[in-house]
Structures are given as C-alpha cells and as structure tokens.
Structure 1
Amino acid sequence: MLYKTIQQYWDKRYSGYSQKNKKEIESVQIEKWKYELIRWLPKERTSSILDIGTGPGFFPIVLTQMGYTNVTAIDASKNMLQIAQENLIKYGEKSSTVRYLQMNGQELEFEPESFDVIMMRNVTWNLEEPEKAYESWLRALKPGGQLLVYDANWYSYLNDPAIRSQFENNLKIVSSEQLEDYWHGEGVDEALIEEIARQLPLTKRLRPGWDLEFLNQFKEVEATVDTEFGPKIWSREEELNYAATPMFALYITKRS
C-alpha cells in the first residue's frame, strides 16, 4: 500500500525536515506567515483549528504565538508528531497546549462540522486519494469555516523537461552560493520520494487548476487562489530551491 510507504518515508525524514522548519521559525519568515494568515483566520482566538500533515509542527507554533488556544495537529508519521511536540515546547507560546494525533489526513476521524479552520502546507500533493481527502476535510469543516491549502506542483519536473532544466539550474546556484539544498539534505531518499511521486495522481496534474475544478462541484464552496504566494514568505534560499515549482495558496470557504 502506497500510504504505508509514504508514512515510512516521512518517519525517516523528520529530523532534516525539522531543521528546515526551524530556519523559518528563527527568522523573519515566521512574521511573514503571521501577516498572511491573520487575513484568513478568525478573530476569536478560541476558534477550533486543525492542522493536517503538521510535520515538525510549524503551524501549531505559529498559531500559538498568535494566541490561538484550540489547535489540533495530525500527521501520519509518529516521528513527525514527536518532534512537533518538542518544537512546540521550544518555540510555542509557553502556556499553550496543542492536541497531537496520529491520523490519515485523507480519512479524518472527527465528527462532521468540528472545526472553524482546517489548514495544511505541502500535503495535498502527497496524497493517494486527494478527492477523498477534500471531501473529508469539507465534512469536518463548520459552515462558514475556512479551508487553507498551501501547496505546489511538487516533483512536476518528473514529467516536464523545461521544469527539470529550471530546477537543476536553480540548484547549481544554491550550490555556488553555499546555501542548503532542500532536495538532497538530511533524510531525503531521492530515489524513493521520486518513485512515490510518480505514483501519486497530482504529480501529473496542473495545479491549482485541478483543485479549483474539483471544488467547483460543491455548491457550498467558494474558492479563491493566490498563484504568487511563495515570494511573499520565501527566503532567498527557499526561492532558489522552490521557484521551479511555485507555491500557491487556496482559500476555501464553506458557506453557511
């Protein structure tokens, strides 16, 4: 089952991925994220928020620093959840608590209409059944709630020679400037993640067009997209690593 392979991959990559998150937390980037998020998050700091695929726990740290007190974070990887909790202790608001649960993000185990906000970063591309996932997320979202999806066309270079050329040129610049290469760093099994990506449906789709087309079938959903989101929050290092696969933001409202 591909899900198990994906789970095992991220279980091994937790440490290196956490180091990348820490760079964001310890820099001005975290303030850039807060500036972008505050436009979409509820003013009420007790609103229920779910972070799907929390990884090393970046969003719970951001949210608790912003004063949100009702945060749940899930991930398929046990090791990611463990380091997320450690990172929260170090970087989160000291009085904050976050509920961490190991769970398949495609099959949420919550009651319908449980959350005011559901959010995620770099998750949808990594799913076997993204349609099923979106349906599950919308069920768990309260009427009037917000679904915030931050993602990119990760590994699209596997299918597009032009993207691969840009990707490889950017990494040469990364090397020449002695910056960190996020694609070949600690815990990255390049052959394995590329093999996983080849089997994932969204690797072959042009996004966020695919997402908008799928979401249009739901009458209660209103979606807007920002295809230029990446430069708003990237560092120079991230820009060079990621520019070949630009980051986008989907802002999805479930109408009351």
Structure 2
Amino acid sequence: MQMDAQNLAFRDSVFDMVISRNITWVLENPERAYGEWLRVLKPHGKLINFDANWFLHLRDDTARRNFEEGQAAVVEHGFELKESDHGEELDNIFRELPLSCCWRPQWDFMTLANMGCEEIAVKFSLPKGLYDEYYEQLYKTIPTFMICVVKAD
C-alpha cells in the first residue's frame, strides 16, 4: 500500500514491526511520522529506522567539512568525483527540510524519548557492503545509522 508516512490509514496497534529506510530525512514533519509509526505498533512491537544526515552539510559548517573529507577520500581512492545529480534547485529544497539542520541520530533519540519510548537503541556501525566502494568513501563521514525502539505496553 502506498500512503503518507505521516498520516497512516491503519488502525491503532496492528503491526508487530515497522521498518523504515531513508525516508525520515525528507519528511516535512518527521516527528509526526514517528508518532504514527508508534501508534500502529502493538505493545512490545519494534520500530526500526535506517537513515543518515544526508544533507546536514548544506546547513552546518562541521558537517560540510566532514562531507568534503568524504569527497577527498573518494579522490584519494582513485575515483573521479561524481557531479551532484540533483543540482542547486534541489539543494535549496533539501536545505529547507526540517532534518537538514539536525544532528542525527541524536534528534531521533531525543524525539522518541520525548514520546515516551524507553527502549531505544542506536547502532552506528552497519555492515560493510551497503554501498559500493565509491559511496563507502563518500559517506564514511555521514554514516547510515539504525535506531530501534520497542513500544511500551
């Protein structure tokens, strides 16, 4: 089924697990999405979200320097740096997304804790091989993370 992740059409407490990958960063109201995902989980259900600070480098100097280090690593490993395939217009859109100014997964952890979640785990070192060697180097300074929550009773 296709629907808005921030406004799910499901009843409360119907799923054992909700898994999300690389969607939260692009939502206009990611906190609402977390609320919806928790709403549709059964008690003791698990929420697993994979994401990263994909565009924090557009708004934060430290993240920009980290991103530039990733670009330099790409070149040092013998790859030609690929031009951005989204251009300035999309960069402007990405820059305005709510999570493009947040350090993550810290934001996710605090948001979920404020929603009453108590069992929250974050994993930073995901298995090798998620990306080809080019993107392994480019994204090493903005690693993908996994955050896992067990819904309370």
Question: Which fold has the larger relative contact order, with Cα–Cα distance below 8 Å and residues 6 or more apart in sequence?
Answer: 2
Contact 1:124 1:130 (8 Å CA) reproduced = yes
What letter matches 2:50 in structure 1? Y
Does structure 1 residue 165 correspond to structure 2 residue 62?
no
Change (3 A) 1:173 1:225: closer
Does structure 1 residue 200 correspond to structure 2 residue 97?
yes
TM-score between the two structures when normalised by the length of structure 2: 0.84
Deviations 1:190-231 (A, max 9, x none): 223311222111111111111111111233542111123365
Change (3 A) 1:167 1:191: same
Matched residue count: 152
Does structure 1 residue 210 correspond to structure 2 residue 107?
yes
- Correspondences of 1:70-109 after superposition (within 5 Å): 101-109=1-9
Contact 2:79 2:134 (8 Å CA) reproduced = no
The RMSD of aligned alpha carbons is 2.4
Q: Distance in 1 between matches of 2:8 and 2:118?
A: 19
Does structure 1 residue 119 correspond to structure 2 residue 16?
no
TM-score between the two structures when normalised by the length of structure 1: 0.53
Does structure 1 residue 177 correspond to structure 2 residue 78?
yes
Higher mean C-alpha deviation, range 219-228 or range 133-142? 219-228
Identity %: 34
Change (3 A) 1:220 1:162: closer
Q: Distance in 2 between matches of 1:210 and 1:238?
A: 24
Runs of 5+ unmatched residues, structure 2 = none
Give 1:138 deviation, angstroms: 0.5
Q: Distance in 2 between matches of 1:255 and 1:202?
A: 26
Q: Paired residue for 2:146? A: 249
Higher helix share: 1
Change (3 A) 1:231 1:163: farther
Change (3 A) 1:135 1:166: closer
Q: Paired residue for 2:48? A: 148
Q: Paired residue for 1:29? A: none
Q: Paired residue for 2:135? A: 238
